[in-house]
Amino acid sequence: MWSVTSTTPTAEDAQLLARTAVSERLAAGAEVTGPAMSVFWHNGELGEGQEWRVTLKTSAATRDDLANRIQELHPWAAAAEIVATPVEWAIEQYAAWVENVTAAVE
């Protein structure tokens, strides 16, 4: 199982990513949190701003398709943050749910 995270400039953008990924069964579930204050280097200068985070749970088999779909929908297509970390442990029922939900894509 994987946890895939992206940040967006608005809550609406994050909700779109979450709804689309879950409705297309690329993720079993998603959480949107924010706003968060971000500090970043962009276009040769220091920047600051608010961002919203979307965290999606997916299977190893679906992770790359999910990342591609996020990139297609993301308002920052050229430099969208899309990162993933493997989930080291989860209760068996939760991990099975994630696998079963995202298996419908295959």
Model pTM?
0.92
pLDDT at 59 over 90: yes
Predicted confidence band at 71 (pLDDT cuts at 50, 70, 90)? Answer: very high
- Report CA 83 to chain centroid distance, whole Å: 8
One-letter identity of residue 1: M
Predicted confidence band at 78 (pLDDT cuts at 50, 70, 90)? Answer: confident
pLDDT in tens, 15-35: 999 999 999 999 999 999 999
Say if residues 84 and 2 touch (Cβ distance below 8 Å). yes
What CATH number matches the domain at 2-103, 3.30.70.120, 3.40.710.10, 3.40.640.10, 3.20.20.120?
3.30.70.120
